[in-house]
Structure 1
Amino acid sequence: MALLDENRLFPTDPAVRGLARDLYDGVRNLPIISPHGHTDPRWFAENAAFSDPASLFVTPDHYVFRMLHSQGIDLDSLGVARVDGGPTEQDPRKIWRLFAENYFLFRGTPSRIWIDHALQEVFGVTERLSAASADAIYDHVAACLTQDAFRPRALFERFNIETISTTESALDNLKWHGMIRDSGWGGKVITAYRPDAVVDPEFEGFAANVALLGEMTDEDTTTWDGYLAAHRNRRAVFKAFGATSSDHGHATARTENLSTGDATRLFDKALQGACSAEEADAFRGHMLTEMARMSLEDGLVLQIHPGSCRNHSADIFQRFGRDKGYDIPTRTDYVRALKPMLDAVGGERDLTIIVFSLDETSYGRELAPLAGVYPALKLGPPWWFHDSYEGMWRFREMTTETAGFYNTVGFNDDTRAFCSIPARHDVARRVDCGFLATLVATGRLDMDEASDVAHDLAYGLARRAYRL
């Protein structure tokens, strides 16, 4: 018995379902463009076998362990590493059994579809994961992982990934990307420039991070001009390793366009650790505009991931660090927040600014109208909590009439869980084909046009937006 319904996520009306199926059959096997994500470049550099099912499905995936944690399961028992290096569960079979015993918690969630897809399509599992099936499925997946066909590079090719972008800090030495480049392997794994640690005065160790940025670039980052030059230097290095984008995870969408004198004064205060919360936010906002100007110079696409109250639990952050599922959506005012940057560069046709949102209420009211008029602005796909059937459908409903399809950038999976990549793209393709079928059935789109749009949403828009 298959884990997956072949017609999953398609509309239930038989006629519309048939249209959706026809559209989907035309795009289901297109190559995957994964232009923004968090897979580990070390996997592709070393091409070592994944060690066990738990380290593949559970410990790297905050979608998984946040749900388990919400039911009182300690992260220690799931093998999530502690900041202090303290003891956590090291037996992968125990971690897997705990996961399997609680798999029912994922009923109705996107994670359930992604995991079932990976188990069936990647590993050939047809039995539902549960306490009763845990050991048998563990043994089967573990046996697969010993085979060369399940090493990272082989899976990359099997998943039909054309390009994948990882995301590295501005301070990363890009060692693994160097190994990939020098290996002779043909898989296209590129990086993206993530400067949060050196543009956010509230980031832990900000002043030390800026000093290290200076050391890495041989620039005097105690001065404003030297600091900006250091960013240009690092961006050039990232471009040499294939980067076509930068990525910015700010608490708000605030942008500023300060005078050089005001920016310098804020920068000096930031280095001294003397910024108020308001001043830190203003500095981050100004740096988005500076990064946009740099993008006009070097061509990197500017991605903004705002509106997330990151690391909401102080206890989890202190014990386990960043990115442990506690990034919570907040209300975001894009109209006022983006105006300073858009006043400065929003009319530039050679600039691409991709804005993501965790505040769905802003899609129709703010983001679609903004993207529907500013040449530089594009809408990123639903991410984090909205990377789901309902989230994607709502996105299309709330943005298409105002921004159209061509002011969006297709889909990206934004994942740390490697085997979920084809699953996530499959979900997006099914949802988009269902939405397009509805437009055809209601006389708003011809079938040949819907076929063209389906291809663009699955492949073409991401490839063009990210200059791949």
Structure 2
Amino acid sequence: MRALVLDDDRILPTEPATRSLARELYAAVRDLPVISMHGHVDAALLARDEPFSDPAQLLVVPDHYVTRMLVSQGVRLEDLGVPRLDGGPVERDPRAIWRRFCAGWHLFRGTPSRLWLEQELHDVFGVRVQPSAETADELYDQIAGCIARPEFRPRALFDRFGIEVLATTDSPLSELADHAAIRASGWGGTVVPTFRPDALVHVDRPQWKSDVEQLAEVSGVPTATYAGFLDALRQRREHFARAGAMATDHGHVSADSTPLERADAERVYRDALNGTADPAAARAFAAHMLFEMARMSSEDGLVMQIHPGVVRDHDPAVHEQFGPDRGFDIPAAVDFVRGLHPLLAAFGRHPRFRCVLFTIDETTYSRELAPLAGVYPGVRLGVPWWFLDSPMAMRRFREATTETAGFYNGAGFVDDTRAFASIPARHDVSRRVDAGFLAELVARGQLGLDEALETVVDLTVTLPRAAYAPVGA
């Protein structure tokens, strides 16, 4: 049995003088509010505010970082309780799921998941021994005892975590009933939706036509024509903005934003409704719609978040059995410079346009993203996420981008998580990395300590607040 002990200096530089500086910088931001502007927590969790059902559903089943690692070692998703689309048999015993997770604890050594999980277990649930096959039942009972108490319900944890705002990611077809319920409840937490139209702009999706028909129903705008389709999307954006949305979210494989001539867009849309659009036309239409979404952002002020370069559902068998976002995302190379050129040439200097660029291809940081953010007023850098939200990758991000784009062309940290209890741990890792990076600048005489203190606070709260604030606020 190994003890679970958190080193208070974890991730900070090891050289004594620099570590001392980093401690001072980290102390300035350690307890600042959490601004979570990009994530996948279900709003229903906070609308209902019901107790978490069990440790497995809280810490294992919804966290694709956790399940992915276990699957890579031969554990089946069914054995981790992930539901199948066909309703087929999966593990229903949460204790059995938890035991599998604990038996695989050693697999997470050196990963950011290990950092997050350790901090969750230690700080939130008071765990003092490491997960293992030997300790699994003891830890299960301890965590189950915690989540049965009122102070561990979702809203109580939201307040305990110091979350200032939590943005969810939502279907453009959603009526946002859970967000409305949160606002009507009288609870003071701020939870806002994010408009993600991916399902409607990729016309080669099997469900695309039925989704477009549903778009007409929820918007009240006929979608039999391309013009109606655009109007329906505008109505949905307005609906989201009224519900508090600050941003949109776009997960295209490519960064291509080449617009089509109006007649060509109308033709592809018509062909898609008839089921005759070919793959090349579908790709061209998706690029065109990225351009159109930028146009709409320049009109309504919603911040446009773009994170291309992810091949979704790489494992077709898993995708078929478990549905979207379960078949494993794999990074792919992206050409931001040429792909986004039409979009930025048209809107990059528009006074109402703001765009946050994310990548999981580190080679683009210094070559493409930092120079783009260092030129276009409408562009901000998104910090490392999915595959790169780890201490060493975050450090490499700062090294690759700061000399070109500085600190102030960034948009703050995003946790991109479905695992609610991991939010404060993820933000804490980012704060430690930034404190260490700034401490080294101070130690090398490149920055005064007073400036570094100001900067670390700005990176933590000032920049994300500014990046997502309503235009003109």
TM-score (norm 1): 0.98
Picking from 401, 404, 408, the partner of 2:403 is: 401
Alpha-carbon contact 1:251-1:306 (below 8 Å) kept: yes
- Measured against aligned partners, the alpha-carbon deviations of 1:124-165 in whole angstroms (never above 9, x if no partner) come to 111111111111111000000100000000000000000000
Deviation sequence 1:401-438 (CA, Å, 0-9, x none)? 11111111110101000011000000000001101111
* Distance in 2 separating the partners of 1:436 and 1:180: 39
> Which of 79, 97, 106 pairs up with 1:95?
97
2:82 counterpart (80, 83, 87): 80
Instruction: Report the secondary structure of 1:390's partner residue.
Output: helix
Report the counterpart of residue 388 of structure 2 in structure 1: 386
Give distance in 2, aligned partners of 1:96 and 1:243.
36
Q: Trace 1:429-468 onto structure 2 (pairs within 5 A).
A: 429-467=431-469
Q: Using the alignment, how far apart are the partners of 1:325 and 1:457 within structure 2?
A: 34
> What is the distance in 1 between the residues matched to 2:206 and 2:440?
48
The runs of at least 4 aligned residues of structure 1 exceeding 6 Å deviation read none
Q: Aligned-pair distance for 1:324? A: 2.2
User: Could you give the per-residue CA deviations for residues 72-113 of structure 1, whole angstroms, max 9, x where no partner exists?
Assistant: 000000000101111100000000011101111000000001
Unaligned runs of 5+ in 2: none
Q: CA deviation at 1:325?
A: 6.0
1:164 match: 166
Deviates more, 1:345-354 or 1:44-53: 345-354
1:257-288 deviation per Cα after TM superposition (whole angstroms, max 9, x unaligned): 22222221222222223222222121111111
Residue matched to 1:205: 207
> Tell me, what secondary structure is at the counterpart of 2:380?
strand
In structure 2, which of residues 48, 51, 64 is the aligned counterpart of residue 49 of structure 1?
51
Task: Determine the C-alpha separation between the residues in 1 that align with 2:338 and 2:428.
Answer: 36
Contact 1:47–1:151 (Cα < 8 Å) also in 2: yes
Match of 2:307 in 1: 305
Q: 1:116 aligns with which of 108, 115, 118?
A: 118
SS of residue paired to 1:386: coil
Q: Residue in 1 aligned with 2:15?
A: 13
User: Which of the residues 249, 253, 256 maps onto 2:255?
Assistant: 253
**Corresponding residue number in structure 2 for 1:30:** 32
Sequence identity, in percent?
54
Counterpart residue identity of residue 405, structure 2: A
Match of 1:229 in 2: 231
Q: Is the 8 A contact 1:257 1:344 kept in 2?
A: no
Q: Distance in 2 between matches of 1:306 and 1:274?
A: 26
**3-state DSSP class of the match of 2:12?**
coil
Please report how far the alpha carbon of residue 292 of structure 1 lies from its aligned counterpart in structure 2 after TM superposition.
1.1
Task: Name the structure 1 match of 2:155.
Answer: 153
The whole-number CA distance in structure 2 between the counterparts of 1:227 and 1:417 is: 34
CA distance in 2, matches of 1:135, 1:183: 37
1:354 to 353, 356, 377: 356
d(CA) in 2 for partners of 1:277, 1:444? 52
Q: Secondary structure in 1 aligned to 2:387?
A: helix
In structure 1, stretches of 5+ residues that fail to align are none
Is the Cα–Cα contact under 8 Å of residues 318 and 327 in structure 2 kept in the other structure? no
Tell me the TM-score normalised to structure 2 length: 0.97
- C-alpha distance after superposition, 1:273-324 (max 9, x if no partner): 3222222121111111111111122110001110000000000000011222
Could you say what secondary structure the match of 2:35 adopts?
Answer: strand
Structure-1 residue corresponding to 2:275: 273
1:138 is aligned, of 134, 140, 145, to 140
- Please name the residue that 1:192 is paired with: 194
Distance 1:440 1:253 in 2: 37
Deviates more, 1:262-271 or 1:248-257: 262-271
The worse-fitting range, judged by mean Cα deviation, of 116-125 and 322-331 is: 322-331
Counterpart in the other structure of 1:219: 221
- In structure 2, the residue matched to 1:179 is 181
Shift of 1:2: 4.8
Shift of residue 46, structure 1, vs aligned partner: 0.5
Cα deviation, 1:54-78, whole Å, max 9, x if unaligned, reads 0001100000001000000000000
1:418 alignment counterpart: 420
Counterparts in 2 of 1:431 and 1:325: CA distance versus 1, 3 Å: farther
